[in-house]
Every structure is written in C-alpha cells, then in structure tokens.
Amino acid sequence: MSRRQKKTLARIICAAALLIAANFMPLDGIFKLMVFAFPYLVIGYDVLWSALRNILRGQIFDEKFLMTIATLGAFAIGEYTEACAVMLFYQVGELFQSIAVGKSRRSIASLMEIRPDFATVLREGEEVVVSPEEVALGETIIVRPGEKIPLDGEIISGATSVNTAALTGESIPLDKSVGDKVISGSINLSGVITVKTQSVFEESTVSKILELVENSTEKKARVENFITRFARYYTPCVVIGAVLLAVVPSLIFGEWQKWIERALIFLVVSCPCALVVSVPLSFFGGIGGASREGVLIKGANYLEALASVDTVVMDKTGTVTKGSFSVSAVETNGVMKEELLKIAAHAESFSHHPVGESIVASFGEEIDKSRVSDVKEIAGKGIEACVDGKTYYLGNAALMKDAGASFEETKRIGTAVYVSCGAQFLGSIIINDEIKEDSRTAIKEMKNVGIKKTVMLTGDSNDVAISVAKDVEIDEVRAKLLPQDKVAQVEKLIEKGAKVAFVGDGINDAPVLARADVSIAMGALGSDAAIESADIVLMDDKLSKIPLAVKIARKTMCIVQQNIVFAIAVKGAILILSAFGIGNMWTAVFGDVGVMVIAILNAMRAMMKVKK
C-alpha cells in the first residue's frame, strides 16, 4: 500500500470505531448530533471540502456532491448512523479503487524498469559514466554483466547473453557477439561487451516504448467516452429527480420527512461511481496485462477495436516468414554442387544484396577475396565477376540470355540465381525465405479464437506466395502487389463489412497500416517506424502473439460489458425500490458502494493472464 492508502485505511478504522462507540452513548438532541459529527468529519472531511471546492469552480454535479447532499440531508432528518455509514462505505469503495488502480499502474509501470540509469562511455581512452541522454550517436559504450544496455547499437567486441524479457515477454536469453545488434532496455547477462551506438537516447527503442506506455491511457475507447457523457447528463438528472421526489409527494400527501428520506436514499443509490471507475480500470488492466506479454497497445480505443476483429491480413516477408534468405536447392549442369556453390559464393562475396549474402552464408567457408576481381553489378539482372581468371555471370534469366548461355528455367519455387561461365551454363541456386517456426501454430490459433478469415498480401511472385500460404494454411493470398495495391485489397475487405487487422513490419507497409481498422507492427525491436506507425506493437516478431492479444482484448471487453450491465441493473432496481419506500439507507449503501466494489473486483480480472 502507498502512504496515502495507509492513511485512508487508518481513517476508516478510526471512524468505524468512533461510530460504534457513538451508538452506545445514551445521548439525545444536540449532544447526539455532536458525537456523531465527529466520526462523520473524520471520514468525510476531504469529500466535503472537494464538493465545496468544485461548487465554487462551477463543477457541481459529481459523486462527491451527491455524497455530501445525501449525508448532510440524513443528518438533517436525524439519521446520524446512516449518514456516517454512507460516508464510511464510500471511502471503503474509494480505497478499493485506489488499490486496484495502483495495481494496474504497477502492471504497466513494470515496463518503466527498462529505463537505463547510466551509460559507461569510452572517451579519449577513459571510461566516463554519464546519463544515457548525454551519449552521442556513434560513441562507444561499455556494458558489463548485470547492467541494462542504455542505447541501441552494434557489438564491436565481446560476446554475451542478453535478456529481453522486459521488452518481449520472452524469458529465454539471446546470445550476442561481434556484429550483432543490441537494443536499449535489455539486460547484459554474462560477458563484457563494447557497443557502438546507433541512436541517441531520444530515438532509442526504450525511449519510444516508454513514451508509448505513458500515453496509452489518453486514448479512450468509445464505451469510455459514452460513460463520461452519460455521467455528465445522468448526475444532474438524478439530482432533479431526487428534488421532485422530496417535494411533489410531500405537497400532495404530506409527511415531509418520509419523502425527504426517500429522496436522500435515491441520491445515494444514483451515484455513478461503479461505471465511472470500473470501465476505465478494466481497460487499464487489459493494457497492463498485454504489456506483460510483450504486446504494447497504444490506447483503450485500439484494445476495443482489436476485440471486434474478424479478419487478419498480413504481409509475408518479416511477418509470416523470417525475412532472411537461405539456399534451399542447388541444380547443376556438368559441375559438382559444392563447386558451383563455391564459385557463386566467391562471386557474391562483394555483394550486399540479401540473396548474395545468403549464398555466401550457405557456403560456410572462408572466402579468399584475392581470387575475385572485376566485379560488376548489372542493374535488374545480376552480377558479372572474374574468379580465378574466368568470367562468371550470376543472376536472372535475362542475364543468362545476355551471356548467350543455353539453359532451362528451373521449376522449383523460389528465387533462382542462374550461374554461367561465359556462355557455358553451370546450374542454378534456389533461394527461399524461411517460414517462422510459430507461423503455422499462430494461424491455427487465430482460427481457434474466432478469426473468420486470414489473408496474406505480398509483392512476391504467385508461386512463392501460394506455396507459403498453403504451408501455413492461410485462407487467401494476393501476390505481386505494390503498397497501393495492398491498400486497395484491405479497402475491399472493409467495404464488405470485415473488421480488419493488418500485420506488417511498420516500414514498407505504412500506407496499409494506416488504412486498417487496427494496425499491428511485427518485429518491433529496433524499428522506429514500427513503434510510430502501428496501433499495437509486438515487441518480438512472433505471429503467435496476435491470437493472445485478441484473447486479452475480448476478455477485457467482456468484463466492461458485465460491469455496465450489472451496475445499471442493480442501481435501477434499487432506485425503483427506494422511490416506493421499499429499502432503506443501508440498501442505498449497497447500491452505491457495494456495486462499485464488486465492479472493481471484476475489473481487476483484466490484469490476470489469459490461457495461451
């Protein structure tokens, strides 16, 4: 408990003890009023002061105003015990609310622990400890075991294991060595590493995540906005209703005290605390629960939208597949496979193209670049290179035709790199993008949680796209699409009434991310554009986090709906009973504080983990 919560609890216990003692004192008249006024002021002075201050500011109709009018009215008609009890239980409800909100905030604020406290920078051969904000782009920092990595960068010496659990929700450490990228907010576990920074702190992954989390509660869901508008008009209406209930029947039937008491009960019951508190708390809990799983949701409005999604549209590269190419087959014509791969790897050793890099990686042996000369890149076709004094061509079918090589195009699915020595065709190397390990499971889980349709949009060829979609059991696939074509495809689905979530890398797919009902960024680690452009950010590149996020969103919305129905139904019933004299001030206390506590406890379920 916080200091403020402990203070409130102490006031509740003290006021309760004083109230019990007051009920045993044989006093009447002004003395009885004075004795009961003491516990009333102990427990309710802040409510009274807040109500007075709001009235002076012109903000009259809120729950504190209702509590003040109802309890002072109860004192006026001699219902001292009931007046104190109403204020006492109101404070109990407020304490429950404070504890629940605090727990939910801690759930989200646990992400704030990723903020690094310092950075050790190498300057002029000396180690200097500074704030992460003071480290410039391109400087060299040293990170020792147990320390948080303060900025995004690339390891230039050392090797270690890195814990990214606070960012991704995954507890398995990742091994990192020279040439690997590390991100701010992760924890260095084992070895001393030297890192060259690739961002300033304001543009680092951890800074952007912290900003996202801090702003997540500002974007309200439609149901939250409805409740806010509802309370704005509802409160003055019930105050007017209570006045009419006190005055009109009294003028007709007399018995002023009876009708004033009913009006006061009506006021206590009518307080909209349960709705005003529990609905935003439910969303807050859902966002916090998702953050623990490595799913950052930028606002309650996006959580609400995700709950209604029935169609998931996804990019291929980097979403369904790893986005890293590898050699899947080698076809030869008069040479050994190992020899063809060796020639291709040497010829591609100066290339920075992903296809060329995948061939070099597949060769797996050290490249002797002194054997390679006269490397020329032929735009849109491939490369020409001299290896051991012989001229080789590596590229697409158009390049083979230019080289005069007699060849047949491969029937295998993938990107084909044809190889010839002059006009002599040597064979082809087939490159494919690997499918992620969890893609098949993720698509199956999407269907299990009620996603009606899965669609893959890609700029790749038809054969490759169909092969990948079939492998992971995606329902529909569209290939050879430009960014604007992807937007058109999503718009067609929306026009047909589908609620569409688009999943992409947040960079190349920015236009279609902006058009979808909900946009989800994959592989967000280190991707500034992903964090900025998407509504929801998955802090690792696992597609399986999407059905989990949908479960969290639907569970949260279910809790919100339960609280709304429960609060309105109970309050409506007690309002009717109190107006007809069936029910007393204690019934009113349950109708207000009891309903609020039950709704808060229900809302706290949104913070609990959902079954995967």
Residue in 367, 406, 401, 403 with CA at minimum distance from that of residue 387: 367
Helical packing angle, 80-109 and 29-56, nearest 10°: 40
Structural contact between residues 552 and 284, judged by C-beta atoms closer than 8 angstroms = no
β strands within 256-396, DSSP E: 295-297, 311-315, 321-332, 372-378, 382-387, 390-395
The active-site residue, picked from 62, 152, 315, 505, is 315
* Measured distance CA(156)–CA(178) in Å, rounded: 5
* DSSP code string of 112-133: GGGS---EEEEETTEEEEE-GG
Helix, strand or coil for residue 476?
strand
Helical packing angle, 545-579 and 222-253, nearest 10°: 10
User: What burial class does residue 275 get, using C-beta atoms within 10 Å of its C-beta: 0-12 exposed, 13-18 middle, 19+ buried?
Assistant: buried
Q: Which residue has the tokens 């309903």?
A: 595
Residue in 260, 233, 147 with CA at minimum distance from that of residue 195: 147
Q: Which residue has the tokens 């409506």?
A: 572
- Considering all CA atoms of the chain, what is the largest pairwise distance in Å, rounded to the nearest integer? 116
Residue in 61, 109, 93, 43 with CA at minimum distance from that of residue 607: 109
User: Which amino acid is located at 56 in the chain?
Assistant: L
Structural contact between residues 458 and 479, judged by C-beta atoms closer than 8 angstroms = yes
Both tokens of residue 327? 């050699």
Both tokens of residue 408? 């047949």
* Measured distance CA(288)–CA(109) in Å, rounded: 8
Both tokens of residue 338? 């190992």
Q: Is 152 a catalytic residue?
A: no
Please, what is the Cα angle at 132 between 130 and 135, to 5 degrees? 75
Question: What contacts 91, CB < 8 A, 6 or more positions away?
Answer: 8, 11, 12, 15, 43, 44, 47
Q: What is the 3-state secondary structure (H, E, C) of 190-240?
A: CCCEEEEECCCHHHCHHHHHHHHHHHHHHCCCHHHHHHHHHHHHHHHHHHH
User: What burial class does residue 449 get, using C-beta atoms within 10 Å of its C-beta: 0-12 exposed, 13-18 middle, 19+ buried?
Assistant: middle
Q: Can you give the C-alpha Rg of the chain in angstroms?
A: 34
User: Which amino acid is located at 546 in the chain?
Assistant: I
* Measured distance CA(590)–CA(570) in Å, rounded: 9
Which residues are known to be catalytic?
A: 315
